[in-house]
Amino acid sequence: MSTAADPTGSAPVLELRGVTVRFGSVAALSRVSLALRAGEVTCVLGENGSGKSTLVAVLSGLQRPVEGELLLDGQPVRLRSPQQARSRGIATVWQDLAIAPLMSVWRNFFLGAEPTRGTWPFRRLDVGRAEEIAGREMARVGVTGLDPGQPASALQAGERQSLAIARALHFGARVLVIDEPTAPMTVAQRALVLQSVVAARDAGLAVLFVTHSPQYAHLVGDRFLLLGGGRVAGDLTREDVDLEDLTRLVAGGDELSLLTGHLRAAHPDR
C-alpha cells in the first residue's frame, strides 16, 4: 500500500529505490523504496526480523545492497562506510549508543572536533566555549539545566540519545537516522528523545525514526513505513491513519496480512 504523491512537492534529500539486501539465500530487505524529505519525520515500524535494523545499516553505510540504489539529492551514491555517510551529511544515532563514560559531556559532544583558541604552537582547547556550545545545543533539543562538565556516565538513557541528536544538529547533518534505544527508559526519558526528534525536524532535517511503538510514532511522525519480512507492507501518512489504525496494523492484525498478501500477489517474485 502506498500513499499519493507528496503534497509539498519537495524533492527527497535521501531516497532508496528497490533496495535488496541478502544474507546468504535470505532476503533481509526485498525491493524496499523510501523517500526522506527535509523537515519530515518518517517512522519505520515492524516486528523483530522485519528488516528495520538492516535498513538502518544500509542508510548508515554499514551494509551495501545487492540490488537497487541510493540517491542523495537525486544523484546515485554508494555509502561504503559510516564515515562516508557522515561526510555526506547522514548521521546515525545507534540503538546501543556508546559513550565514553569517564569523559565529560562536552568531550563526548565534540569527539575530536573541540574548539581551540590561540595560534600554533600555542593553540589550546577552549574549554569554556566547548561547554557553552554543548550546553546550548543540548538545551535546543530539550535537555536543560545540564552541567556540560559532568561525566557522561551521569546521563540518563534518554539524555544520551539527545546528546547524539544535538551533536548531529550542531555538526550540520542533513539526514538523521535514529534507531530506537533498547535500554529501559522512563516516560520522561522517552519524552526527551521524542522532543529531540521534533527539534531535528523543525531544524529542517530529514529524519528516519525506527521504533516498535505506534504510540510514539504517531506523536512525532509525518509518514509511516511498515516493514514485514523485509518488504514494505505499508507506506502511509498521518492523513491515512489515526493512532488506532496504526496500532492495529503494527500489531500484525488482519489488515497487515491483507496488505502483505496484496503485495505478494502483485509482485510474486519478491
pTM: predicted TM-score of the whole model, two decimal places: 0.86
- How far is 161 from 158, CA to CA, in rounded Å? 5
What value does the mean pLDDT take over residues 58-66?
Answer: 95
Q: Taking every pair of C-alpha atoms in the chain, what is the biggest distance, in angstroms?
A: 69
Give 270: exposed, middle or buried? Use CB within 10 Å, 0-12, 13-18, 19+.
middle
For the chain, the C-alpha Rg in angstroms (whole number) is 20
What digits encode the pLDDT tens for the residues 70-101? 999 999 999 999 999 999 999 999 887 878 99
Q: Three cell numbers at 222? A: 509525518
Domains of the chain, by residue range, sit at 14-99+157-165+172-266, 100-154
C-beta of residue 51 within 8 angstroms of C-beta of residue 29 = yes
How many residues are present in the chain?
270
228/166 Cα distance (integer angstroms):
31
3-state SS, one letter per residue, for the chain: CCCCCCCCCCCCCEEEEEEEEEECCEEEEEEEEEEECCCEEEEEECCCCCCHHHHHHHHCCCCCCCEEEEEECCEEECCCCHHHHHHCCEEEECCCCCCCCCCEHHHHHHCCCCCEECCCCCCEECHHHHHHHHHHHHHHCCCCCCCCCCEHHHCCHHHHHHHHHHHHHHCCCCEEEEECCCCCCCHHHHHHHHHHHHHHHHCCCEEEEECCCHHHHHHHCCEEEEEECCEEEEEEECCCCCHHHHHHHHCCCHHHHHHHHHHHHHCCCC
pLDDT confidence of residue 123:
85
Has residue 265 got a pLDDT over 70?
Answer: no
Average pLDDT value for residue range 99-113: 92
pLDDT tens, position by position, 247-258 = 888 886 445 555
CATH architecture of the domain formed by 14-99+157-165+172-266: 3-Layer(aba) Sandwich (3.40)
How confident is the model over 138-159, as pLDDT tens digits? 999 999 999 999 999 999 989 9
